[in-house]
Amino acid sequence: AAGTFATKAVGRGKSVTVTGYAISGADAANYSLVQPLGLTADISRLALNVTGASAANKTYDALVAAAISGGAIAPISGDTVVLDTSGRAGTFADKNVGTGKAVTVTGYTISGADAVNYSLVQPAGLTADITPLTLNISGASAASRVYDQGIAVAISGGAVAPISGDAVTLDATGRAGALGDKNVGTAKAVTVTGYVITGADAANYALVQPQGLVADIT
């Protein structure tokens, strides 16, 4: 016995033509066998996975978007199905810095004469990193002073400009400056340390201490 759909296309309650039932036996020749009639069945969509996609690492930008590249499909040989990647997009669960963060992918679509026979499955299991954004301190200055056998230099000022909306506060209470040596000189390079940042979004930034400061020892 065998059944045949009229077409290969997906559908519900599709008519099935039956052939192949036969009878045998001493009196079989006295009968005209009628094959089953009125049979129907469904053809459901075949899951079609998108493979070969990847999510790109990025520097923190206060957004949850992730860049997606790649993607391929393998429909049944002979079917006309084309993958469209123009609308693909990735989304992190949150904006924060982290490694191996899960990325949800959407936007892949398929077209072509046989596309309606497939159920496209978006890429799964993608991960990517969000690395800290460099945050420079501006507006700091070093004070010149009279020789005192020390290398310490007073530091003043300092400000940061995080991404708008982020809660980041610059803490200057521990700031300090140091010269390379104690000796008298002009425009001596000063190394600055001790600035820190606090706030709900501080962990998403890599703070850079002020650079290029100079001071005189008279």
pLDDT tens for each residue of 127-163: 999 999 999 999 999 999 999 999 999 999 999 999 9
Is residue 47 within a helix (H) or strand (E), and if so which, with residue range? strand 46-49
What confidence score (pLDDT) does residue 212 get? 97
Average pLDDT over the chain, rounded to an integer = 98
What does the pLDDT look like over 47-63, one tens digit per residue? 999 999 999 999 999 99
Going by pLDDT thresholds of 50, 70 and 90, the confidence category of residue 98 is very high
CA distance 14 to 142: 84
The residue length of the chain stands at 218
- Give the confidence band of 92 by pLDDT, cuts at 50, 70, 90: very high
The predicted pLDDT at position 187 comes to: 98
- How far apart CA 7 and CA 43 sit, in angstroms, is 10
